Amino acid sequence: MRKLALSLSLVALSVTWLSCGSYSAPNPSKVRFRAVISNSLHPVTTGVHVPALEIMNATTDVLSFSPIGLTELPDLGGSLDVSSDKLLTLAYSPAGHEFELVDNTTEKSSQSVVTLPDATQSFFIAHDVRHVYAAVPNAPVAGGIPGAVIQIDIASGTVSATIPVPHVQFIAEANLGVTILALSDNSGGICSPESGTVTVISTQNIGSSTDPRVTKCGFDHPAGVGSSANPAIAFILECGAECGGASNGAAVVPLDLTTNTAGTPVPVPAATVAAAIGNTLYVAGTAPSTACTSGTLATSCGTLTAVDITGAKAPVSFAIPDGYHDKMEVTADGQVIVGSHDCTEINTSAEIRGCMAIYNTVTSKVVVPPLNGNVTGIAPIPSRNVFYAIQGGSFVVYDTKTDAFLPNHQSAIVGELVDVKVIDNAP
């Protein structure tokens, strides 16, 4: 297997151009504060395109002419992830089921890949930056039910462990990297009666004689995990009816990671993605047949629900665009950005509506920007009242003070864009 590990023998990529600038930085782009944008079809010459990461100056919102080529991958149709120390970016190719790493300091790829046994939609670089983990629902398991969490060792660039978890769809790191939560919409016969499961995996026991897994039954199509200021408590998002479960099954379930004990579920209209601000967990989803409030031509809506995790206040919900919600971020000034795909779009002279919602936590108002398209990437810019988004395949800069496009800061990037991530700490 080809190595994923970064090495000193990396050579300059043929698709790289250097930009001008006065800042003396170790990276070829000479940009001090960067965001990267995945582009499956970066143009090289007429009719020739390669997968690459475009580099955006996150201070000025100006595109650098110094892309990072990822020609070993067939595409960049998946999400990106950035290591906790900001030194690495992980790119995923759905077409090849392949990962490739980028050294953010040198702005060079590893020029090699690691191939998964099948497709994944959920992965991350571990907090300690030693491993990559991926949920592979159809990973073959000898003598068992398909599905596994795959561990990749970053130093060697090889698959270092396969942890069987039947039908695992989603994984999240918890408890500062000590725990991985692996979610499955059915147990494959482990639970009786059959139900969705949350498998708690101890990363310290992977590769040891102790089984690292503890499986908890009784969940209704768990689809995501929310966090809080307490690393020992995770919040499991039960998708319920939106994912084919019970009509009243959507809920937020606290899970004590010290005892692996589930607490009392908090019912919500729908739950597939979440983000926390203090003691408030914001949860989004689309329950079937949810009508919209006034002010839109759309006849179907999703909901954003504010859940007080202390239990002092009842949950409060707000109408947002429908679709399947899998993107949520919090901006520097405390606004909640929610993105979905396959939403109800409106494109008339009276209203333009896509799959993004901006929720103001101070005024409790929701703004739906006038842009069509699925939301595949959201990146709040630290220390600025700005966030980047990939919507409908276009790169967009939003001003969170006006909840509108930031004038004179938009870049038309040619290609097929999917995700965007900030790879530097704010200057």
The predicted pLDDT at position 10 comes to: 27
C-beta neighbour count of 311 within 10 angstroms: 12
Q: Is the pLDDT of residue 265 over 70?
A: yes
Distance, in Å, from the CA atom of 60 to the CA atom of 409, rounded to the nearest integer, reads 8
The predicted pLDDT at position 27 comes to: 79
The predicted pLDDT at position 9 comes to: 27
**Mean model confidence pLDDT for the chain:** 92
The secondary structure element, H or E, covering residue 302 is: strand 301-308
Sheet holding 62-69, edge to edge: 62-69, 48-57, 34-45, 417-422
Angle CA(77)–CA(20)–CA(420) in degrees, nearest 5? 20
Q: Is the pLDDT of residue 24 over 80?
A: no
Query: What mean pLDDT do residues 78-100 have?
Result: 98
Q: Is the pLDDT of residue 123 over 50?
A: yes
* Phi, then psi, of 196 in degrees rounded to 5: -75, 160
Q: Is the pLDDT of residue 388 over 80?
A: yes
Q: Which amino acid is at 149?
A: V
Express each pLDDT in 175-190 by its tens digit.
888 999 999 999 999 9
pLDDT band of residue 26 (cuts 50, 70, 90) is: low
Place of tokens 């084919």: 244
Weakest mean pLDDT among 2-16, 120-134, 207-221, 295-309? 2-16
Task: Give the distance from CA 150 to its chain's centroid.
Answer: 18
Express each pLDDT in 191-217 by its tens digit.
999 999 999 999 999 999 999 999 999
- Alpha helix locations (H) across 6-101? none
Task: Write down the domain spans for the chain.
Answer: 12-103+392-427
Which residues, in sequence order, are CB contacts of 58 under 8 Å at separation 6+? 33, 34, 35, 381, 384, 388, 422, 424
C-beta neighbour count of 3 within 10 angstroms: 15
Are the CB atoms for 239 and 220 separated by under 8 Å? yes
Task: Give the distance from CA 114 to its chain's centroid.
Answer: 20
Query: What mean pLDDT do residues 414-427 have?
Result: 96
Distance, in Å, from the CA atom of 302 to the CA atom of 25, rounded to the nearest integer, reads 45
Residue 238 exposed, middle or buried by CB count within 10 Å (0-12, 13-18, 19+): buried
Q: How many H helices and E strands in the chain?
A: 0, 36
Pairing relationship of beta strands 114-115 and 88-93 according to DSSP bridges: unpaired
Are the CB atoms for 231 and 214 separated by under 8 Å? no
Place of tokens 């870049």: 411
Weakest mean pLDDT among 3-7, 343-347, 353-357, 415-419? 3-7
Instruction: Give the single-character DSSP code of 21.
Output: -
Are the CB atoms for 162 and 170 separated by under 8 Å? no
**Could you tell me which residue, 177 or 6, shows the higher pLDDT?**
177
